Structure 1
Amino acid sequence: FKAVQDGKQVAVAVPTTLLAQQHLATFSERYAAFPLKVRGLSRFTSKKEAEEVLTGLADGTVDVVIGTHRLFASDVTFHDLGLVIVDEEQRFGVEHKEHLKQLRAHVDVLAMSATPIPRTLEMAVTGIREMSTIQTPPEDRQPVLTYVGPYEDAQVVAAIRREMLRDGQVFYLHNRVESIEKAARRLADLVPEARIAIAHGQLPESVLERVIIDFWERQFDVLVCTTIVESGLDIANANTLIVERADRLGLSQLHQLRGRVGRGRERAYAYFLYPPDLPLTDAAHDRLATIAQHTSLGAGMAVAMKDLEIRGAGNLLGGEQSGHIAGVGFDLYMRMVSEAVTEFRHDPASPVHQSVRIEIPVDAQLPPEYVPEERLRLQMYRRIADATDHEALRQVREELLDRFGPMPEQAERLLTVASLRNLAGRAGVTEIHMTGRQMRLSPVSLPESGQLRLKRLFPDTLIKAPISQILVPVPTTARVGGQPVRNDDVLEWLRTLLIDGLNAPQEVGS
């Protein structure tokens, strides 16, 4: 609406004709009181109407167009396109999304999805694209009760009859067009009292539209369908989903299908079934385990992150939207891309974080008695590891104090070690290792004046210039027979060594 007010045109791309019709009806209803021209463009659009829409887009008389892949055809030209909205983004290819952006150099793109494709999600979490998440569900919406298990006729019959007892409707997904009628006949034999309809993408458009409308008007109890219903169908009375061969579907598809039920106030049920006599592949097992684990409202983000981890992020500059991450591991890959983005932007406020390895005898940890739950403990360790400046560490400290109370000595030391790690990184040091009574730091390259200063401040320091390494004697608890200092004392001494001896730059406030 804001874009049209500013004189721009808006294109809304959706993956299916059914969703295009649904959006067109919704947009037309909401904009009825305003002088906006909203039109649709899909294979359901007649030839004459399509020509009128194309002419209107070219001369600027059509403000908002809602369409399927038809929008990407070569004969579609815009007068002044300002905003592209891609709904159900995971259903579009790279070429489609790039094509719309190339129509004009300065086009805002809003991509919406409950489960973003790995390539898009990875662009968001590494900072290439901006991302915002909607966490608040509609009022009175309840999580869908999810069951994953082997297929059993008795369970399917019980699920359908239970839904019919409360005057509800059922989606039964059989994703094979050639055998979908056979599946419908089998259901009719199992539940003879159920009124059953069939919907799939190869039906003539008029027949498909009629079936969906009849189902929406409750003339059928069970809709035997393919994944054509995956995107955007909003039928509040359908509250049971049964999926045959769930092991063949992708993680994003499983989550999107589950979103077709539970859209009203009634409790919804989703059954993801697989053949009892066939072994599951590792990937299928991971997908089904993930969908069973993430059942809360707004779980799409967690599902998409797991999908990214399972499938990989694809090619940022090419066409692959998923690809193998196993070669380097998920966390390392994400960090590598994040560092590359920061370096490309030349952002002085966000220096590329070097991996600094510190091995010194200190008791630095988050004790289980301080953070009892293992998942939260690992989460906080990750937050500390990702804190690359003083402000980030300050926020972590405040969060620990707020959530878990006063910090024990070990936790304080852990934050001190993190601060030293950042200090060492700014000095170019990537390894600090205490061996016996000496502290080894590398790589360290000092000019002659710096070497003289280091030896004056820290006598008996050994400088190995050819391998960019220094060995500095660690203070002891006593002049004769004492042991090297530990814990807080060695941390304070190391800080002094980095600042005074190696001239490490300090942050403001640190």
Structure 2
Amino acid sequence: MIQSCLYKLLKQGHFAYELLLTKDYKEAQEALELFRFYEGITPFVLPEMRFVYGDDLSAFREEFLESLSVLRLFYATKSPKILISPISSVLYALPKAEILQSFELEQSATYKMLELQKRLLEYGYECVEVVELEGEVSFRGEIIDIFMPHCESPYRIVFFDDEVESIRAFDIHTQMSNPNEIAKLDIVPALFCLNEKQNKDMQENVAQSDFDGFYKDIASFGFWFLGENAHFLPLSLKTILSPESLQEAQESYSLNAMEQAIDLQILQKLPSLSVEQGYSDIVFVPKNIQSMLQAHTKRQITIITHNDIKLKAFDIDVKSFENVKIKHSIAVVNLITPSELILSLNTFAPKAKHKKPTLKLNEIAQGEYVVHSDYGVGIFQGMRQAQVAGVVRDFIEIAYQGEDKLLLPVENLNMIDRYVADSGQIPILDRLGKGSFAKLKQKVRAKLLEIANGIIELTAKRNLLQGVKIDTSNPQLLHFQSTCGFTLTKDQERSIQEIYADLSSGKVMDRLLSGDVGFGKTEVAMNAMYATILSGFQAMMIVPTTLLSAQHFHSLQTRLAAHNTRIARCDRFLKASEKKKLFEALQNGEIQVVVGTHALLGARFKNLGLIVVDEEHKFGVKQKEKIKELSANTHLLSMSATPIPRTLNMALSQIKSLSSLQIPPMARIPVRTFIKKSNDALLKEIILREIRRGGQVFYIHNNIASIEKRAKELQNLLPQIKIAILHSQVDNAKSEQIMLDFANNAYNVLLCTSIVESGIHLPNANTIIIARADRFGIADLHQLRGRVGRGDKQGFCYFLLEDMQEITPEAKKRLSALEKNSYLGSGENLAYYDLEIRGGGNLLGEAQSGHIKNIGYGLYLRMLEECINYLSGKGNMTQAQCDLKLSLNAYLNPTLIASDTLRLELYRRLSLCKDLSEVSEIESEIFDRFGKLDDVSEAFIELIRIKVLANALNLKQIMHYGQNITFTFMDNTKQSIQAPSKDWDDVCESIMNFLRENLKKQNGVKNGV
């Protein structure tokens, strides 16, 4: 109703309001569209901010920074303007224009570097090593990287002494700058522009406050201490409320004295702008607009379109109507008045989602377990510089059993992986020099060759089988897709087309569809099922648990029943007599789609065309054999909730059909994350708030010994709530029943260990409490947080700590990163990396846990890739690693790249380079991000180039002393050359020339030259 109300007011020609309060963000967005259409008044929209007094604003960082940017632009605009705001966003005093001022940086102008750095920190920027998020700044010598709020990309400012030499935007994903120079840059505050005294006073007020927070700083709590620098907007601007927001305004504003700002005369007028007066919002615009135009020939019609292509798409012949005019705008306005009809062909643009930073920081921290591909499991002790044989180099120190230590040259960092195994198992350290790890690897490789061979043979056999041919060109399939109620992601569309190609090929399909819970695997599978049904065949879905069976049955009923499909369900809740009737109906062809657990495996079908298996790795051996028998001549689609590692995906795609869903659905709302000190009052508030909105709570208590005691404490605290307990010592049948009851709302709180199933969708549980969060790894925390907020409802995650002061600085840093960002940069990559690795383990479907425990998932999957590539004729069993014994100082200089973390990350990326172009790209990046490379850094880059060519040539060792250079091949034959001088440039050129010549010869032999 808001658009029609505002439109009448605007048409009256005396609109003099600067602030419009709406019920929520959706209503604010509708109002924004009306002002876009009307023009003449510049609209600004504040994001919805539902925090309460004293909240730590780190959890609301994104919306808070956006609101400050919107306010700044609103204050700066002199022409007619209006600020549109959800009521929740103006409940508290907001910053005045004076403390949101910006300043300008200009190319060729001079600035004192130390003063500029100090000013940026006073402006609320957070100093970090790598800029990835809004409000961050990085200082590296004469380079400043800054990411201002509400900017599409960050900027890199390069100084020459005190003069600004260059200003360019750069990409957060690659960290490479755009070549286009910028003459001037307006630097806006990340938070507030306060002077030194104001900053100091605010920091003291924050520190002395009773507010509970992880970091008691200005970014977290400064907003509550703005004092005279803030004002209540409704008191300073002429305000109008939408009719829908009136009641909420009266309730909300009773919290303070703001009701005096509401213009009651305008409020009384607003209800008169209603449907009775002939003004009405059009809720639904029909696809056949032509007929609507014909029905309103007496009204002046305006059609809003972003471009004329949409007119063709809607098949509108404008020339045949005298009363129709076209307005080019991005606005979405649909309303009818006594004399006008306004129709928009545009749709609401989804709120722009932040791109996740994809730059992978190396997350191997000191003290973590790593696996060296030759020496086995050790403990990462950090990076150290050492002088060996007269030359200075950087090494990675790894501790093994006893006092054994390995110094690994940084150019060989590709030989180590983080140690990851199921349920965070602690590995046994290997002993150097015993050769036991080499034997273990041989044993694992033999088993992996069997697995790889089995995959290849099975795929080859299925490729020879004739399968039922499914018609995937039926127009009804497009209609089915259009009725899903949401827009399919690109990954979903691609996966559906890949499956259709298999089903219609005449060969038997065997495809794996992987993707996280809630990414839409079931919707993709239902498209395959519907195609099968339309071709006259039956489809079945087999799942490992009764809960999954219930969830899938509900999804299938919701989507397929509307298309005249007969659906049934088979699990342990089916009586024997009902099961018998179901099996008869399947054999007679009366049932078209059936979903069930292993209870379904004894069924016979009239004409089964497709089997969908969800989470196959969770079935027992006998059940897997039965599934194999059933699918021998039938199309098979397997679904997995854990993603397949990208590299393994490439190796497997040569022999197996794979589709993956990596794009989350658009409706997904980021989970709001808080770090709090645990106390009874807080727990009560968290749990009751979720129950009040009709939801449920996960409470993670990762200690089986004390879980019963914790349950009693919670019950005493909240006697009215129902609590279920779940952990690994509860037997399978009971666990399944508990999860089923929880899904059916029989319990308010599920008190459990971190066992919570990752493959189960519980859309009603949207608050998770994680006790003693500092004892979890970042990947585990990220995964646990992912249990909530899976639908279109706001999810809340609480990391609870016993004592804020006693946790390690590393844990503090990681928890803080998780709190600030639901999308996180390196942390999410790490969580995804762990998830991927586990997905690869699940894919194997073998009892391989012993081998995986010994060598870790990372090395295990790398070896599997090698085996698959070897058996497919695409590569060697092992990748050669040349030992470089070169007498030169070569390392990335700490004076160039001060951060150990960043140097370690660059070392790792350089060690993984497979060709010279990759090395050159990273060299350009270092120059761009850190400045001109010095001699030792350039020497290290040359060392990597030599390593890349030496590995391609399958060399065992390169040794250099003075002018003499010796190359040792894998068969231990040697070849020596002499450089023109002892100078490193001459030595390097001689080595590179030798390698290039030999590679030419090798490639010539391969190509039959």
TM norm. shorter chain > 0.5:
yes
Aligned in 2, Cα 1:66/1:239: closer, same or farther, shift over 3 Å? same
Equivalents in 2 of 1:322, 1:144: separation in Å? 38
Q: TM-score, normalised by structure 1?
A: 0.66
Q: Where does residue 191 of structure 1 map in the other structure?
A: 718
Instruction: Look up the SS of the partner of 2:714 in the other structure.
Output: helix
Equivalents in 2 of 1:204, 1:497: separation in Å? 65
Q: CA deviation at 1:47?
A: 2.8
Q: Which of residues 991, 1004, 1008 is equivalent to 1:494?
A: 991
Q: Are positions 1:127 and 2:651 aligned together?
A: yes
Q: Are positions 1:405 and 2:936 aligned together?
A: no
Q: Where does residue 394 of structure 1 map in the other structure?
A: 917
Q: CA deviation at 1:253?
A: 8.5
Segments of 5+ residues of structure 1 without an aligned counterpart are: 277-285, 446-466, 477-483
Aligned in 2, Cα 1:5/1:166: closer, same or farther, shift over 3 Å? closer
CA-to-aligned-CA distance 1:158-183 (integer Å, 9 cap, x gap): 53245457665423467999998876
Does the 8 Å contact 1:441/1:471 carry over to 2? yes
Instruction: Look up the SS of the partner of 2:697 in the other structure.
Output: strand
Higher strand fraction (1 or 2):
2
Q: Where does residue 160 of structure 1 map in the other structure?
A: 687
Does the 8 Å contact 1:11/1:84 carry over to 2? yes
Q: Where does residue 388 of structure 2 map in the other structure?
A: none
Q: Where does residue 443 of structure 1 map in the other structure?
A: 969
Q: Are positions 1:111 and 2:616 aligned together?
A: no
Equivalents in 2 of 1:306, 1:161: separation in Å? 34
Equivalents in 2 of 1:122, 1:326: separation in Å? 23
Q: Are positions 1:136 and 2:664 aligned together?
A: yes
The residue type paired with residue 128 of structure 1 is: L
CA-to-aligned-CA distance 1:104-161 (integer Å, 9 cap, x gap): 2464443321x46xxx769946833646352435435113526599x76565335324
Query: Does 171-180 or 98-107 show the bigger shift?
Result: 171-180
Q: Which of residues 566, 573, 595 is equivalent to 1:66?
A: 595
Does the 8 Å contact 2:547/2:736 carry over to 1? no
Does the 8 Å contact 2:674/2:799 carry over to 1? yes
Written as runs of structure 1 = structure 2, the 5 A alignment for 1:125-274 is 127-128=651-652, 130=658, 132-136=660-664, 138-139=666-667, 141-145=669-673, 153=680, 156-161=683-688, 163=690, 169-172=696-699, 185-192=712-719, 194-196=720-722, 198=724, 212-214=743-745, 221-222=748-749, 231-236=759-764, 238-242=765-769, 258-263=785-790, 264-271=792-799
Equivalents in 2 of 1:273, 1:77: separation in Å? 55
Equivalents in 2 of 1:310, 1:244: separation in Å? 25
Which structure is larger by alpha-carbon Rg, 1 or 2?
Answer: 2
The residue type paired with residue 911 of structure 2 is: A
Q: Which of residues 869, 883, 903 is equivalent to 1:357?
A: 883
Q: CA deviation at 1:502?
A: 7.7
Q: CA deviation at 1:422?
A: 4.1
Does the 8 Å contact 2:674/2:797 carry over to 1? yes
Q: Which of residues 977, 988, 999 is equivalent to 1:472?
A: 977
Does the 8 Å contact 1:239/1:268 carry over to 2? yes
CA-to-aligned-CA distance 1:60-91 (integer Å, 9 cap, x gap): 554433223434x4x1445435343424x664
Q: Where does residue 408 of structure 2 map in the other structure?
A: none
Q: CA deviation at 1:321?
A: 4.4
The residue type paired with residue 570 of structure 2 is: L
Does the 8 Å contact 1:14/1:86 carry over to 2? yes
Equivalents in 2 of 1:98, 1:246: separation in Å? 41
Equivalents in 1 of 2:591, 2:686: separation in Å? 47
Does the 8 Å contact 2:724/2:738 carry over to 1? no
Q: Where does residue 868 of structure 2 map in the other structure?
A: 341
Q: Are positions 1:51 and 2:580 aligned together?
A: yes
Does the 8 Å contact 1:142/1:297 carry over to 2? yes
Does the 8 Å contact 1:143/1:262 carry over to 2? yes
Equivalents in 1 of 2:906, 2:591: separation in Å? 52
Instruction: Look up the SS of the partner of 1:346 in the other structure.
Output: coil
Aligned in 2, Cα 1:375/1:158: closer, same or farther, shift over 3 Å? same
Does the 8 Å contact 1:313/1:325 carry over to 2? no
Aligned in 2, Cα 1:135/1:234: closer, same or farther, shift over 3 Å? same
Q: Are positions 1:432 and 2:955 aligned together?
A: no
CA RMSD between the two structures = 5.3
Q: CA deviation at 1:441?
A: 1.0
Q: Which of residues 26, 31, 40 is equivalent to 2:555?
A: 26
Aligned in 2, Cα 1:468/1:341: closer, same or farther, shift over 3 Å? same
Query: Does 98-107 or 368-377 show the bigger shift?
Result: 368-377
The residue type paired with residue 19 of structure 1 is: L
Equivalents in 2 of 1:144, 1:109: separation in Å? 35
Equivalents in 1 of 2:705, 2:581: separation in Å? 37
The residue type paired with residue 716 of structure 2 is: D
Aligned in 2, Cα 1:501/1:319: closer, same or farther, shift over 3 Å? closer
Equivalents in 2 of 1:434, 1:396: separation in Å? 22
Q: CA deviation at 1:10?
A: 4.2
Number of aligned residue pairs:
451
Q: CA deviation at 1:437?
A: 2.8
CA-to-aligned-CA distance 1:309-343 (integer Å, 9 cap, x gap): 8999599584234644555x766555433322211
